[in-house]
Structure 1
Amino acid sequence: MDSSSSVPGLGSVDPQLQHFIEVETQKQRFQQLVHQMIELCWEKCMDKPGPKLDNQAETCFMNCMEHFIDTSQFILNRLEQTQKTRPAFAESLSD
């Protein structure tokens, strides 16, 4: 198989460019995840915005963010496990 990728309308793509695109896409996904986390925790923890966080809001934010990160990590691990078992399952079907 050819090591270069083909993108509709662009022909083959340089492997370094492909890697750059993948890295930038991962950065964008991470930024979206952080934005979602902040938005979710803000809605959950902020009753009345003020000049500083009180102890209750600060604790709520920390718990919310830790829960969000733990849940995201669990989902990523689960997806990795699923992807690892699929090729073996697909091979057993073709036998």
Structure 2
Amino acid sequence: MSFFRGTNPSTGSLSAPSMQARKEEVKQQIQQELAVASAQQLVTKMTENCFAKCVTRPGPSLAGSEERCLSQCMQLYMAAFDKISQTYVTRISKEGRKQ
């Protein structure tokens, strides 16, 4: 009896459908981890750049103008990220259909 579902008892290897399913599972997991890393990088860069631009004199609290600046800066950053992401996904989809 095999410990792995989809294992061929005579060879001990995974069957082709099981191997393909495992590849897809790993691919999905990698894509998910890349998306999380990308989001973390976006937040880090957005925070660094918007803070440097908007907070001229750090103190115990933000001035109203600093809050507005940060809010606008972050909205612009997110809009740009969304547009770039959409363009990238569209491009990848088109290239995937060509193959």
Whether TM-score is above 0.5 comes out as yes
Report the equivalent of 2:32: 23
**Structure 2: which amino acid aligns with 1:39?**
E
CA root-mean-square deviation:
2.3
Change (3 A) 1:85 1:21: closer
Does residue 57 in structure 1 map to residue 66 in structure 2? yes
Structure 1 or 2: more strand by fraction: 1
1:11 corresponds to which residue?
none
Classify the secondary structure of the residue corresponding to 2:60.
Answer: coil
Bigger CA radius of gyration: 2
- The normalised TM-score by structure 1 is 0.70
Deviation at 1:20, TM superposition (A): 4.0
Q: Tell me the number of residue pairs that the alignment of Structure 1 and Structure 2 aligns.
A: 80
Give the 3 Å change call, closer, same or farther, for CA 69–84 of structure 1 in structure 2.
same
Work out the percentage of aligned pairs sharing the same amino acid. 25
2:88 matches 1:79:
yes
How far has the Cα of 1:21 moved from its partner? 4.2
In structure 1, stretches of 5+ residues that fail to align are 6-13
| In 2, Cα distance between equivalents of 1:68 and 1:22 | 22
